[in-house]
Amino acid sequence: MPSPAPAAIAPRDKAEILAQALPYIRKFHGKTMVIKYGGNAMTDPELQADFAEDVVLLKLVGINPVVVHGGGPQIETALNRLGKKGQFIQGMRVTDAETMEVVEWVLAGEVQQDIVGLINQAGGKAVGLTGRDGGLMRARKLKMLDNADPSKEHDVGQVGDIVSIDPSVVKALQDDQFIPVISPIGFGDENESYNINADVVAGKLATVLQAEKLVLLTNTPGVLDKTGRLLTDLTAREIDELFADGTISGGMLPKIAGALDAAKSGVNSVHIIDGRVPHAMLLEILTEQAFGTMIRSH
């Protein structure tokens, strides 16, 4: 069934919307924005199209978007097709050599090329990269200590920790009007591959590129307080307090930890937004209205 046509906007309203966006366009012109793309925005066809349009529009108004993507559900599907059972330790996927092969062809193949195709279809010029391209992302094996007994270490296979990021390939593409789409795969000293958490990659990349903003698309409205109310504007110090009193826990912990690192390392603002809202990214960046949580560096 075709999707309903968007409601017609009166020309006067259109002009008003554009006029309101103008100060933001002026403020962010020429600045870099790192976007972590995941969740429903990545699997729902209509939200996929909205995301691609948003990225292309940002590029056209002079903002430099860099996309980092995950792909947990797609990896799970591929492993199931091969009859391989996923094993997790403390929420981390154990990645043996065979699993790593699957991770690479799902992330750097299928998922990345889907995103590149969507952006190109929307009128942009996207280029797919992994950490190996241009020596972008060096990694080493992640040391995972046991939560209960820190003297004990778990072997989670080819899961990586970032050693260094060389952003020159990303900068070269940006200068040439391309939109980089990055798979979170790093490489080690022996040219081995490592699967790295995409939120961590986005946070570190935003820091190295001295991005104006880091935007994390999630399946939640943002950071909620203990009563379930959305907290729209937080400082790094307030986030530390929410960690301490247990307001932020579970799956939100790694996401916010990466966001907090970026905010403390010079990224002006980090936005954790609801990717289930059509065009949430544009609304968050180019309007006064909050569609998620903004973490300010100070």
What's the pLDDT tens digit per position in 118-143?
A: 999 999 999 999 999 999 999 999 98
Per the domain annotation, does 21 fall within a domain?
no
Pairing of strands 126-129, 179-182: parallel
CA dist 46 and 62 (Å) reads 25
CB–CB of 272/255 below 8 Å? yes
Per the domain annotation, does 19 fall within a domain?
no
- Give the range of the structural domain holding residue 102, as residue numbers without chain letter: 33-296
**25-34, 83-92, 279-288: which has the highest mean pLDDT?**
25-34
Structure tokens at 198: 């995409």
CA dist 184 and 245 (Å) reads 31
Pairing of strands 92-93, 88-89: antiparallel
Asked if residue 72 belongs to a known ligand binding site, the reply is yes
Per the domain annotation, does 11 fall within a domain?
no
What's the pLDDT tens digit per position in 244-263?
A: 887 777 667 777 888 888 88
Q: What is the pLDDT of residue 260?
A: 84
67 pLDDT above the threshold of 70: yes
Structure confidence at residue 85 as a pLDDT band (50, 70, 90): confident
Asked if residue 140 belongs to a known ligand binding site, the reply is no
What's the pLDDT tens digit per position in 42-65?
A: 888 899 999 999 999 999 999 999
Please identify which residue in the block is written with the tokens 């916010």: 256
Q: Higher model confidence: residue 289 or residue 36?
A: 36
What's the pLDDT tens digit per position in 151-161?
A: 899 899 999 99
3 pLDDT above the threshold of 60: no
CA dist 275 and 279 (Å) reads 8
pLDDT over 70 percentage in the chain: 95
Per the domain annotation, does 7 fall within a domain?
no
CATH number of the domain residue 258 falls in: 3.40.1160.10
Secondary structure of the chain in the HEC alphabet?
CCCCCCCCCCHHHHHHHHHHHHHHHHHHCCCEEEEEECCHHHHCHHHHHHHHHHHHHHHHCCCEEEEEECCHHHHHHHHHHCCCCCCEECCEECECHHHHHHHHHHHHHHHHHHHHHHHHHCCCCEEEECCCHHHCEEEEECCEECCCCCCCEECCECEEEEEEECCHHHHHHHHCCCEEEECCEEECCCCCEEECCHHHHHHHHHHHCCCCEEEEEECCCCCECCCCCECCEEEHHHHHHHHHCCCCCCCHHHHHHHHHHHHHCCCCEEEEEECCCCCHHHHHHHCCCCCEEEEECC
CA dist 159 and 72 (Å) reads 13
Instruction: Give first-to-last CA distance, the chain, whole Å.
Output: 48
Asked if residue 203 belongs to a known ligand binding site, the reply is no
Per the domain annotation, does 71 fall within a domain?
yes
Region 154-171: mean pLDDT is 95
Per the domain annotation, does 18 fall within a domain?
no
Per the domain annotation, does 13 fall within a domain?
no
Q: How many domains does one find in the chain? A: 1
Asked if residue 195 belongs to a known ligand binding site, the reply is yes
Per the domain annotation, does 9 fall within a domain?
no
CA dist 202 and 183 (Å) reads 10
6 pLDDT above the threshold of 60: no
Q: What is the pLDDT of residue 246?
A: 78
5 pLDDT above the threshold of 70: no
13 pLDDT above the threshold of 90: no
Pairing of strands 292-296, 269-274: antiparallel
Distance of CA 188 to the CA centre of its chain: 22
Close Cβ partners of 216 (under 8 Å, ≥ 6 residues apart): 36, 199, 202, 255, 259, 270, 271, 272, 273
Cα torsion 240, 245, 251, 254 to 10°: value is: 20
